[in-house]
């Protein structure tokens, strides 16, 4: 069986796609806010304005949609077919030209055409890879898709700090969506090998009771030095 982003990760995001926006208190505002931040980073670090952007772990389009709205040519890829379907639907609803494709980040060279001036991977996606060898493979594919003067932008959790503290939960996020009160939070089960299993809770208030869904995913706590070395 192929290592790394296995079927459990694909199943996790396929199941979560319908509710993923609930991890934000206001998803639409977060789309706008993140696009503004990424646009500023691009202007700060890119030698010239990029002609195109690849979001290689795009999920339901949180970053890709906002960047497309700002006028960037954006192509999004993700391992989750349900997430890609949602991203496509959201782009169509907003009349945006962003395109999306189901691709494992370790298969970019064979599945995605051309090169990109900017590649992004935000929201702690790459730590789903299980070890440094698999992260290196993903990095090779990402680098191959970068144009000669292209830049890579991304984000993960601050694992240098988290490995010291090893928290067991996240703060709950409460939101109102279509009149339904929703609470989301995570419980973390740490393992000895720097990995941890997330139990992702989504609670929706229906008829004065909360309907609860729990989804599981595994992450690896890659440190800043590990990430910097591999993507250098």
Q: What is the pLDDT of residues 162-210, one digit of tens each?
A: 999 999 999 999 999 889 999 999 999 999 999 999 999 999 999 889 9
Q: Is the same domain home to 29 and 142?
A: yes
Per-residue pLDDT, 5: 52
- For every residue of 29-66, DSSP letters joined together read HHHHHHHHHHHHHHHHH-SS--S-EEETT-TTTHHHHH
Q: Is the same domain home to 106 and 184?
A: no
3-state secondary structure at position 88: helix
Q: Is the same domain home to 136 and 211?
A: no
Give the start-end residues of each E strand in the chain: 53-55, 74-78, 99-102, 116-121, 146-154, 173-177, 180-190, 195-206, 209-220
The domain spanning residue 191 has which CATH number? 2.20.25
Count the domains in the chain.
2
Structural domain of 169? 160-219
Angle between helix 62-69 and helix 27-45 axes, rounded to 10 deg: 70
The domain spanning residue 108 has which CATH number? 3.40.50.150
Percent of the chain with pLDDT over 70: 97
Q: Is the same domain home to 87 and 176?
A: no
For residue 1, tell me if it sits in a domain: no
Task: Give the model confidence (pLDDT) of 2-11 as tens digits.
Answer: 444 568 899 9
Q: Is the same domain home to 116 and 102?
A: yes
Contact 230, 135 (CB under 8 A): yes
For residue 2, tell me if it sits in a domain: no
For residue 101, tell me if it sits in a domain: yes
Tell me the mean pLDDT in the region 139-158: 97
What does pTM read for this prediction?
A: 0.95
Task: Give the model confidence (pLDDT) of 63-78 as tens digits.
Answer: 999 999 999 999 999 9
Q: Is the same domain home to 32 and 77?
A: yes
Q: Is the same domain home to 93 and 198?
A: no
């Amino acid at each position: 069986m192929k290592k790394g982003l296995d079927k459990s990760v694909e199943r996790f995001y396929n199941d979560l796609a319908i509710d993923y926006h609930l991890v934000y208190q206001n998803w639409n505002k977060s789309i706008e806010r993140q696009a503004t931040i990424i646009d500023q980073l691009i202007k700060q670090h890119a030698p010239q304005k990029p002609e195109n952007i690849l979001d290689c772990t795009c999920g339901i389009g949180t970053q890709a949609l906002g960047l497309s709205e700002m006028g960037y040519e954006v192509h999004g890829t993700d391992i989750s077919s349900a997430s890609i379907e949602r991203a496509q639907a959201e782009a169509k609803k907003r009349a945006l030209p962003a395109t999306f494709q189901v691709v494992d980040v370790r298969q970019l060279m064979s599945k995605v055409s051309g090169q990109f001036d900017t590649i992004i991977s935000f929201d702690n996606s790459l730590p789903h890879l299980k070890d440094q060898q698999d992260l290196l493979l993903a990095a090779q594919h990402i680098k191959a898709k970068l144009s000669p003067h292209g830049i890579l932008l991304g984000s993960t959790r601050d694992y240098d700090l988290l490995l010291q503290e090893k928290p067991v939960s996240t703060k709950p996020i409460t939101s109102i969506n279509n009149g339904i009160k929703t609470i989301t939070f995570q419980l973390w089960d740490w393992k000895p090998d720097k990995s941890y299993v997330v139990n992702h809770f989504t609670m929706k208030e229906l008829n004065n009771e909360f309907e609860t869904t729990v989804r599981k995913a595994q992450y690896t706590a890659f440190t800043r030095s590990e990430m910097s070395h591999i993507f250098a």
